[in-house]
Amino acid sequence: MARKELVDASQVLGDDSRSEALRKQLERIQRAESVISAVLRIGVLLSLLVVVVGVAVSFVGKPGTYLHNNAINKALLTRSSDYPHSLSAVFSGLSHFQGEAIIVFGLIILLATPILRVLVSAVIFAFQRDRYFVPVTVFVFLVLVTSFLLGKAGG
């Protein structure tokens, strides 16, 4: 794998600039990268797993939804309100082991992953006392939260 080349921070810096401060900075960046990469990977795998389970449950529990032409065509050509699109509806659907609700829950995990990534980076930068990137990531996180609140109000 190529990443082994980068584990050695001195290689990125080159022999000429292997100062202690720079080496430390690169190590910090690499630590942040492995945490953020793990957050993304876990989010993606978890959502994929939940979505697949949801599809399977839909097939088994309510074959009509996916298997009958008429039902699916009608569902796709119009915006239906049959499926859950509020958090409370999703959770009540989950408790009844509804396929749709499980799929939507998986999609929510997917949507939350980039937002969680921003939050985790803010925490990492705070630990590293990065005076530029703490405000940068906190600002982005607040903008995301604001847009969700505005979206709720407007939509």
Partner 1 sequence: MGSFVVELFFICVVAGLAGSLLGIGGGIIVVPVLTLVFHVDIRLAIGASIISVIATSSGAAAAYVKEHLTNMRVGMFLEVATTTGAITGAYVAGLVSQKVLYVVFGVILAYSAVQMFRGHFRNTERPVPKDALADRLQLHDAYFDEAEGREIRYKVTHTKFGLFLMYIAGMVSGLLGIGSGALKVPAMDLAMRLPMKVSTATSNFMIGVTAAASAGVYFARGEIDPFVAAPVAAGVLVGAVGGSRVLPRLKNGFIRSLFVVVLLVISIEMLYKGVA
Residues 17-76 that bind partner 1 (CB under 8 A): 25, 29-30, 32-34, 36-38, 40-41, 43-44, 47-48, 51-52, 54-55, 58-59, 65-69, 71-73, 75-76
Name the nearest CA neighbour of 57 among 93, 107, 108: 93
Binding of partner 1 by 120 (CB under 8 A): no
Number of residues that bind partner 1 (CB under 8 A): 79
Binding of partner 1 by 94 (CB under 8 A): no
Binding of partner 1 by 119 (CB under 8 A): no
Binding of partner 1 by 95 (CB under 8 A): no
Instruction: List Cβ neighbours of 6 (8 Å cut-off, separation of 6 or more).
Output: 12, 30
For partner 1, the binding residues in 121-140 under the rule CB under 8 A are 121, 132-133, 136-137, 139-140
Whether the CB-CB separation of 135 and 80 falls below 8 Å is answered with no
Minimum gap (Å) between residue 106 Cβ and partner 1:
7
The burial class, CB within 10 Å (0-12 / 13-18 / 19+), for 12 is middle
Name the nearest CA neighbour of 54 among 104, 91, 108: 104
